[in-house]
Amino acid sequence: RAGRATPEKGFPTVVYSGALLTHGRWYFEVTIVSTSYRATQIGWADLQFVASSFKGNGVGDDPHSWAMDGDRSCLWCVGSKAWGERWKPGDVVGCCLDLDNRLMRFSLNGSFEPPFGTAFERVPFSGGLYPATSFSPGVSLTFNMGELPFAHPPPAGHAPVASFRQQP
């Protein structure tokens, strides 16, 4: 459910494990409450993803997870590539997953226009995907899977991740 997270040490990962998404189009938002501009990797992870706070391995650091990092303006999946722009406190990151077309898109403050938009295509995943985030001390984030009204409307055809949990 919606909530705030602020790590005190390491590089912890939080996963919304109640929703293993295997098909359809999904959306969630993360609000940047504060940042240390060190590392915040927001995105998706599959069933084979293994994080290690001790080793600094988070979302996007292996082939089973994909992330946008607005602290360092890049995308992560095994390695990094320059993408997007730096976020600041108050910014809202929109995370879109289209499993039918295997696409991941990110927005900043409701805009999918460049330098945002489609980040990953032809995503190969194992079993399904969960929303996931890894972040450094000094970062505070608020997660909204759709239990509360979104700051920005999801793209047409995308459902709140929280609605998956409500399905029988």
Q: How many CA atoms lie within 13 A of 161 on its CB side?
A: 29
pLDDT of the residue at 149: 96
Residue 137: asked if its preceding bond is cis (omega within 30°), the reply is no
pLDDT higher than threshold 80 for residue 167: no
Tell me whether strands 79-82 and 74-77 are parallel, antiparallel or unpaired. antiparallel
Rounded mean pLDDT of 148-166?
A: 91
What's the order of all strands across the beta sheet hosting 40-46? 13-15, 129-135, 40-46, 65-69, 74-77, 79-82
Tell me whether strands 92-98 and 3-5 are parallel, antiparallel or unpaired. unpaired
pLDDT higher for 89 or 57? Answer: 89
* Angle at alpha carbon of residue 99, lines to 93 and 102, rounded to 5°: 90
As a whole number of angstroms, the longest Cα–Cα distance in the chain is 41
pLDDT higher than threshold 50 for residue 97: yes
pLDDT higher than threshold 60 for residue 121: yes
Average pLDDT of the chain is 90
pLDDT higher than threshold 50 for residue 168: no
